[in-house]
């Protein structure tokens, strides 16, 4: 599982978030103060003004201005009874990202500083750090304990490791003990979040950058990066190396420095991101403006170069199937649309011809703008970007010639090592077909109306439906095998 992956750390220029980690593997409370110094206090307007002057934006994908979030919580809480909460999103369900994991493992106090700074400014009752990895949870709990009474406001919530866990309503649901799934309601957490109160929710790096800026002040913070985008960025390069770079650094320089090249193209922003062709990857800088000009987004900070010895079409097909399996299983575009899109991409890569190409385009159009969260849109955009950058590759595969290269798994995935299986007892099965009605993405029927396979892997998200199929089978012919 991805939970055992240990990130390698690096930097371009002087580190800020990763400061001190070239000497120590983890900064405990005393080390943290020795490296970063004491944290100044800020009032609510002063903190919002600081975030505004440095143009601090969410580093989890959407890039929403932090000052606007902060002021929205202030406004909503002030109009009610003043109660509010602060949530740190450290879930990082994106397989290609380890930057938030790295900060929480190695410099957790910096994140707690930012979260507690915001909580003090807002008068928040609670700070919750939501994580998915046990080693990360242990690191944060240790940091809270190292703070003594000052850490009493903070608790750590362990959540399931899934792609959709990091969606705002999904995270809040998981923290409150419900299924960590998107609510499908267009409700901002700044209006109603944890416990029904206005909640400031942002990701790990955002709070760490806030803590850095609080110490440096806006003028000091702006000494690195671009005038329009000051400060540093955390990137995960090739799914394993976490790098801190000043905003505006050349993407090609970062890749070369850590032993990579643009290869056949570079995926920037993770699996809801966009591919850059080699020429664009060599010319673009790591800033919102430069990436936007090239049709890309920084997103969750993932940078994934595709080497020339792997098949890009096959790599994309693997990711789309994984994204379909990571569906929340709640709305049609995810339950039906994404598996159909994945199947269409797989058929095209296997030589499905023009009809398969058209099927992919139709399936992608069918899921856009219709999901309960951004997962269907992000997946469809990922496919569209791949079809643009690797058009010739996909065309060759569709026509049956292919590229002749192996799929090396360069794009990392969280793979369940020992998935549960649905097992059919042929001595009891009568071919009623109720199992396929409940599990159309798992069970396929043969020409005689019986399950085509005796043993079928069950994705974790479909376990409840698999259990229901076992209970409802009239012949008692099904069981779950771990």
**φ/ψ of residue 473, rounded to 5:** -60, 115
* Residue 478, C-beta contacts closer than 8 angstroms, at least 6 positions apart: 422, 423, 424, 425, 435, 469, 470
Local confidence band at 2 (pLDDT 50, 70, 90 cut-offs): very low
Q: Cα–Cα distance between 463 and 458 in angstroms, integer?
A: 7
Residue indicated by tokens 């590229």: 403
Q: Residue 401 above 90 pLDDT?
A: no
Question: The pTM is what?
Answer: 0.86
Task: Give the rounded percent of residues in the chain with a pLDDT score beyond 70.
Answer: 97
Q: Cα–Cα distance between 281 and 267 in angstroms, integer?
A: 9
Q: Residue 334 above 90 pLDDT?
A: no
Q: Cα–Cα distance between 65 and 54 in angstroms, integer?
A: 10
Residue indicated by tokens 């994908």: 61
Stretch(es) of the chain classified as CATH 3.40.50.11540:
11-221
Least confident of 42-56, 130-144, 156-170, 409-423: 409-423
User: In this structure, how many other beta carbons lie within 10 angstroms of the beta carbon of residue 176?
Assistant: 14
Q: Residue 454 above 70 pLDDT?
A: yes
Q: What is the DSSP letter of 451?
A: B
Read off the pLDDT of residues 248-279 as tens digits, 9 standing for 90 and up: 999 999 999 999 999 999 999 999 999 999 99
Q: Cα–Cα distance between 271 and 316 in angstroms, integer?
A: 10
Amino acid 461: pLDDT: 63
Q: Cα–Cα distance between 251 and 257 in angstroms, integer?
A: 10
Segment 474-481 shows an average pLDDT of 90
* Residue 119, C-beta contacts closer than 8 angstroms, at least 6 positions apart: 86, 126, 127, 153
CB 175 within 8 A of CB 137: no
Read off the pLDDT of residues 300-311 as tens digits, 9 standing for 90 and up: 899 999 999 999
Q: Which fold has domain 312-398?
A: de novo design (two linked rop proteins) (1.20.1440)
Stretch(es) of the chain classified as CATH 3.30.70.20:
420-481
Segment 3-17 shows an average pLDDT of 85
**Mean pLDDT of the chain, nearest integer:** 91
Stretch(es) of the chain classified as CATH 1.20.1440.230:
312-398
Amino acid 5: pLDDT: 64
Q: Cα–Cα distance between 223 and 215 in angstroms, integer?
A: 13
Q: Which of 420, 456, 416 is nearest to 435 (CA)?
A: 456
Residue of 9 and 179 predicted with greater confidence: 9
Read off the pLDDT of residues 426-445 as tens digits, 9 standing for 90 and up: 999 999 888 988 888 788 88
CB 112 within 8 A of CB 32: no
Read off the pLDDT of residues 148-201 as tens digits, 9 standing for 90 and up: 998 999 999 999 888 888 888 889 999 999 888 887 777 889 999 999 999 999
Q: What is the CATH number of domain 11-221?
A: 3.40.50.11540
* Residue 354, C-beta contacts closer than 8 angstroms, at least 6 positions apart: 398
Least confident of 19-28, 304-313, 382-391, 420-429: 420-429
Tell me whether strands 302-306 and 232-237 are parallel, antiparallel or unpaired: parallel
Q: Which listed CATH number (3.40.250.10, 1.10.3720.10, 3.30.70.20, 3.40.50.1100) goes with 420-481? A: 3.30.70.20
């Amino acid at each position: 599982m991805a939970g055992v992956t240990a990130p390698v750390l690096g930097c371009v220029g002087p580190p800020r978030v990763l400061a001190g980690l070239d000497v120590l593997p983890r900064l405990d409370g005393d080390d943290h103060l020795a490296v970063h110094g004491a944290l100044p206090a800020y009032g609510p307007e002063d903190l919002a003004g600081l975030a505004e002057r440095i143009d601090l934006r969410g580093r989890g994908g959407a890039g929403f201005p932090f000052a606007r979030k902060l002021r929205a919580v202030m406004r909503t809480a002030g109009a009610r009874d003043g109660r509010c909460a602060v949530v740190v999103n450290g879930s990082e369900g994106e397989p290609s990202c380890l930057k938030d994991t790295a900060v929480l493992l190695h410099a957790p106090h910096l994140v707690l500083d930012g979260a507690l700074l915001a909580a003090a400014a807002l008068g928040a009752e609670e700070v919750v750090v939501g994580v998915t990895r046990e080693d990360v949870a242990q690191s944060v709990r240790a940091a809270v304990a190292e703070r003594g009474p000052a850490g009493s406001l903070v608790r750590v919530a362990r959540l399931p490791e899934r792609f959709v866990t990091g969606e705002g309503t999904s995270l809040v649901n998981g923290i409150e003990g419900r299924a960590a799934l998107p609510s499908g309601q267009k409700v901002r957490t700044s209006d109603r979040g944890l416990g029904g109160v206005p909640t400031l929710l942002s990701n790990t790096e955002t709070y760490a950058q806030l803590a850095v800026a609080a110490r440096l002040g806006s003028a000091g913070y702006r000494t690195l990066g671009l005038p329009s985008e000051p400060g540093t960025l955390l990137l995960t390069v090739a799914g394993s190396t976490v790098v801190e770079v000043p905003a505006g650094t050349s993407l090609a320089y970062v890749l070369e420095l850590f032993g990579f090249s643009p290869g056949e193209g570079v995926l920037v922003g993770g699996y809801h991101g966009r591919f850059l062709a080699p020429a664009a990857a060599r010319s673009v800088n790591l800033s919102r403006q430069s990436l936007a000009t090239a049709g890309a987004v920084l997103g969750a900070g993932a940078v994934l170069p595709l080497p020339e010895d792997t098949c890009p079409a096959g790599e994309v097909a693997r990711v789309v199937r994984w994204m379909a399996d990571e569906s929340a299983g709640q709305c049609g575009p995810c339950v039906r649309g994404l598996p159909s899109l994945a199947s269409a991409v797989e058929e095209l890569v296997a030589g499905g011809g023009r009809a398969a190409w058209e099927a992919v385009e139709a399936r992608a159009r069918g899921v856009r703008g219709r999901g309960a969260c951004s997962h269907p849109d992000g997946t469809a955009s990922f496919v569209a970007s791949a079809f643009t950058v690797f058009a010739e590759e996909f065309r060759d595969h569709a026509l049956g010639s292919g590229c002749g290269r192996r799929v090396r798994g360069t794009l990392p995935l969280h793979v369940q090592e020992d998935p549960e299986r649905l097992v059919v007892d042929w001595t009891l099965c009568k071919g009623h077909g109720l199992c396929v009605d409940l599990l159309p993405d798992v069970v396929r029927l043969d020409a005689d109306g019986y399950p085509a396979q005796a043993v079928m892997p069950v994705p974790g998200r479909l376990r409840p439906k698999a259990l229901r199929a076992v209970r409802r089978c009239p012949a008692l012919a099904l069981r779950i095998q771990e």
